[in-house]
Amino acid sequence: MTIARRWVWAAVIVLLVVQAAHFAYVVHRESLTFDEDDHMFAGYMMWKTGDYGLNPEHPPLVKLLATLPVLGENLWIPPLQGRYFKEEAYLSGRDWLAHNDGASQRLVFRMRLAAGLLALGLSLTVFFTTREFFGDVAGLVALVLVAFDPNILGHSALVTTDIGVSLFFLASIYAFYRYVKQPTLLRLAIAGVVAGLLLATKHSGILLAPMLVLLIGWEIAFAPKGTRGRLTLRLTGAFGAIVVVGVMVLWVFYGFRYAARPAGLAFPTVAEYAKPLSHFNATAVTAIANLHLLPESYLIGLVDVKRMAEFYPTFAFGKVYAHGQWWYFPAVLLIKTTLGLLALVALAKFAIITGKLRKGRELAFILVPAWFYFVVAIVAGIDIGARHILPVDTFLFVLAGGGAAAMAAWKARGKRWRWITVVLVLAHVVSSLTVFPNYIAYANEAWGGPKNVHNLLSDANADWAQQLYQVKEWQDKHPSQECWFAYFAHPEIDASVYGINCHHMPTIDTFWLGGADVIPPVIEGNVFISAGDLSGCEWPSGRMNPYRDFQSMKPAAMIDYGVMAYQGTFKVPQAAALSRALNAYQLLGKGKAQDALASAREAVAIDPEEVASQTALGDIAALLGQKDEARKAWLAAIASARQMEPDAQVSYIPDLEKKLKKL
C-alpha cells in the first residue's frame, strides 16, 4: 500500500497545523501550572544575569528557548533575597510574573508558544522515524497518533521539560540508528549533538548512555561472526564520540562556566547537597564536581532528583503511600493511554509474533529504549504524572504505526486489517477529543474517564493548577458568598492575581512556604478544593490530609475535572488546627514567641490528634524552657504518628524521638 508523496506531505502539514492550533487554544485558557513560573523566571535570569542556580533541578534548554520571546521586554526583576534556591525560584518567579504579566498572561502565552515548537518537533521526529523504519503509511498513522494524543496535547505548550525530553530521546535513538545503518562522520556528529540537546533538556537524559550500550550489544550479537571484532571497535568509538560531543553541547548551555551562580550569590556546594545520599553516590558526584567534569548546576540537579525520590509520596486508587510503588506507572499507562492506542500496540505485538512485522533492528531500536526507560521509571520512586513516561509513549507511537502498516499490507487479509486500523486510530482521536480542552485530566473510558481520574491518580494526571480562570468564572456566578480555597499550587501561584479572593486554607506547600490563613473550625460559603489537595497526594499518609472528609461528599461542581466546589457549612477541625500550627511557626520566626505558643496551644485544643500541631507545641515550648509541656506534646505527636502506615511513620517518629532525647 503506497501513497503519492505530495499527499503524504500535504497530510503532514495539515496535521501539524491542526496540532499547533489545538495546543495554542488549550494553553490560552489555562492558568499557570505548578512549575511554569519557576522555569520561566529561571530561564529569564539565565539570559539576563547568567544565574544557573535558581532552578538547577532541570537543565537550561527548555527554559532558554521559552524565554526567548520576552527578552526584548523591559521587565521588572524582583530583588533576590538569599533564600534556599527552590524557594527563591518559585516565589520570585510568582512575583515576577504577577508584576509584569498579571492575569492577562500575555508574556506567558508567548513563552508557551515558544515551548510548543518542541511539540511540533516531536511530531515530526515521530513521523520521520516511523517512516524510515516502516514506510509512509506507518509514518502517517504514527503522526496522527501523536498529534491527537491527550497526554501530548496536555503538555505540548507548557514551559516544562517533558515534551522536550521526549523529543530528544527519540531523536537521539533515531540519529544513532541512522549512524549504525550507514556510518558517516556527519551522522555521528549529528548523533552527538542531539545527545547533547537531550542532556541539556532533562537529567533523565543520562539514561541514553545505557540505552546505546544495550543497542550496541544487540548490533554486535546479531552481526556476522567475522565482522564482530571490527564492529565492536567502531561502535565503541562511536559511543565515546557521542559522549564527548554530547557533554560539550551540554557545557554550551551553561556558558562553559562551572559555577552555578554569579559571584556572591548563595548556593550549596555539591558535596554539601549530596550528603544525604549513599556514600557511593555522594563520593561519585563529589569527585565529578572536584574535577569540574560537569557544570555545578547540572550536578546539583542530579543530586536533587535522587533526593526527591527518597521521600516523595504516591497517591493511587484512593490511597496515599509514603513512597513509590512498582506498579504505579504500569497502572498510569493503562489509565492515561487511549484504548485505541493500547489496541494498536497490541496489534503491533500480534504482527511481531505472527511474523508480519519482521524488522529486527528497527524493533530493537524501539523496544530496547522504551522498556529500559519504563523500568527505570518504575524503580525510580518518583510516582507523579503520566508526563514522566511520555518518552515511552513516543516509542509506542512508532511501534503502533509500524504494526498498523504491517497488518494492512497482509496479502491475504489486508483489507480487513486496514479497516480495523482505521477504526482504532479514529477511536484514539475521538477518545482524546472527548476531554477537550482539559487534556491533562484525561483517563480512558475503561477507568471512568476524566470525571473519575482524580479518584485514581493525582498531580499532573488530573490537577496541575491549570484551572484558575474557570474557578474565577464559577466564583463570579456565585457572588456575595464567603470563599475558602485549598489550592494545590499555593503559595507558588497566587490565585488573587486571577481575581480569586478567598481565604487560603492550609496545604503541604503552605506548611513549608507559608501563606495559609488562620481559619475557624467551622466554615461556611463556597469551598474550593483542588484535586491534589482533596487526595492528599503530597502528605506521606492519608491521615495527614485535612480534607479527607470531603472525599465522601458530592461537590456542587467539578471545575475542569481538577477543582471541586462545595457549598454549605463544613466542619474542618484538622485544617483549623494545622493553620494555627503553621501560624505559630511564622510568629516564632518574627520573634513573637509567646504569641507563637498561644497559637500552638489553640491548635492542639482544636484537634489534639493533629501531628503537626502537637509537634509545633512541643518545639515552641522547648524553646521557651517549658520542658514538661514540650515532652507531653511530643509524646502525643508520636502517639498520633503511630496510627499512620509503618512507612509513613519514619517521616515523623525518629525526629520526634531525637527531640525527646535532647530534652
In a domain, 128, yes or no: no
The cell numbers describing 53, all together, are 542556580
Question: What is the residue-wise DSSP string for 532-570?
Answer: HHHHTTTSSSGGG-TTGGGGGSPPSEEETTTEEEEEEEE
Residues belonging to the chain: 663
| Domain shared by 550 and 581, yes or no | no
Cα separation, 285 vs 295, whole angstroms: 11
| Domain shared by 425 and 465, yes or no | no
- Residue 369, preceding peptide bond in cis (omega within 30° of 0): no
- Residue 594 burial (CB < 10 Å; 0-12/13-18/19+)? exposed
In a domain, 516, yes or no: yes
| Domain shared by 560 and 581, yes or no | no
| Domain shared by 566 and 476, yes or no | yes
- Residue 410 burial (CB < 10 Å; 0-12/13-18/19+)? middle
| Domain shared by 567 and 607, yes or no | no
Of the three residues 415, 433, 451, the one that is the final residue of a domain is: 433
- Predicted pLDDT of residue 417: 87
The total of structural domains in the chain comes to 3
The interaxial angle of helices 414-433 and 339-353, nearest 10 deg, is 150
| Domain shared by 496 and 544, yes or no | yes
The cell numbers describing 400, all together, are 503502533
The cell numbers describing 479, all together, are 457572588
Residues 6+ apart with CB under 8 A from 384: 312, 459, 460, 461
Place of cell 487534556: 439
Cα separation, 300 vs 266, whole angstroms: 13
The cell numbers describing 585, all together, are 511557626
Cα separation, 74 vs 625, whole angstroms: 53
- Predicted pLDDT of residue 654: 92
| Domain shared by 581 and 558, yes or no | no
In a domain, 625, yes or no: yes
The cell numbers describing 614, all together, are 502537637
In a domain, 220, yes or no: no
Q: Are 613 and 583 in contact (CB under 8 A)?
A: no
Cα separation, 146 vs 531, whole angstroms: 27
In a domain, 199, yes or no: no
| Domain shared by 581 and 557, yes or no | no
CA 617 to mean position of chain CA atoms: 35
- Predicted pLDDT of residue 158: 97
Amino acid making up residue 301: G
Residues of the domain holding 602: 577-662
Cα separation, 661 vs 657, whole angstroms: 6
Of the three residues 417, 433, 449, the one that is the final residue of a domain is: 433
CATH no. for residue 609? Answer: 1.25.40.10
Phi-psi region of 215 (alpha: psi -120 to 50; beta: other; left: phi over 0): alpha
| Domain shared by 566 and 463, yes or no | yes
Helix (H) or strand (E) holding 39: helix 36-49
Cα separation, 273 vs 515, whole angstroms: 27
* Calculated CA dihedral for residues 361, 366, 368, 371, nearest 10 degrees: -160
H helices, E strands: number in the chain? 29, 7
| Domain shared by 547 and 583, yes or no | no
Of the three residues 571, 594, 623, the one that is the final residue of a domain is: 571
Amino acid making up residue 409: A
140: nearest Cα among 1, 22, 347 = 1
Flag residues of the chain having pLDDT under 50: none
Cα separation, 301 vs 46, whole angstroms: 16
In a domain, 397, yes or no: yes
- Residue 491, preceding peptide bond in cis (omega within 30° of 0): yes
Residues 6+ apart with CB under 8 A from 590: none
- Predicted pLDDT of residue 416: 86
In a domain, 589, yes or no: yes
- Predicted pLDDT of residue 479: 83
- Predicted pLDDT of residue 152: 98
CA 27 to mean position of chain CA atoms: 17
Instruction: Calculate ∠ Cα 236-237-242, nearest 5°.
Output: 100
| Domain shared by 657 and 612, yes or no | yes
The interaxial angle of helices 279-290 and 296-309, nearest 10 deg, is 170
In a domain, 262, yes or no: no
404: nearest Cα among 356, 455, 337 = 356
| Domain shared by 582 and 552, yes or no | no
- Predicted pLDDT of residue 550: 97
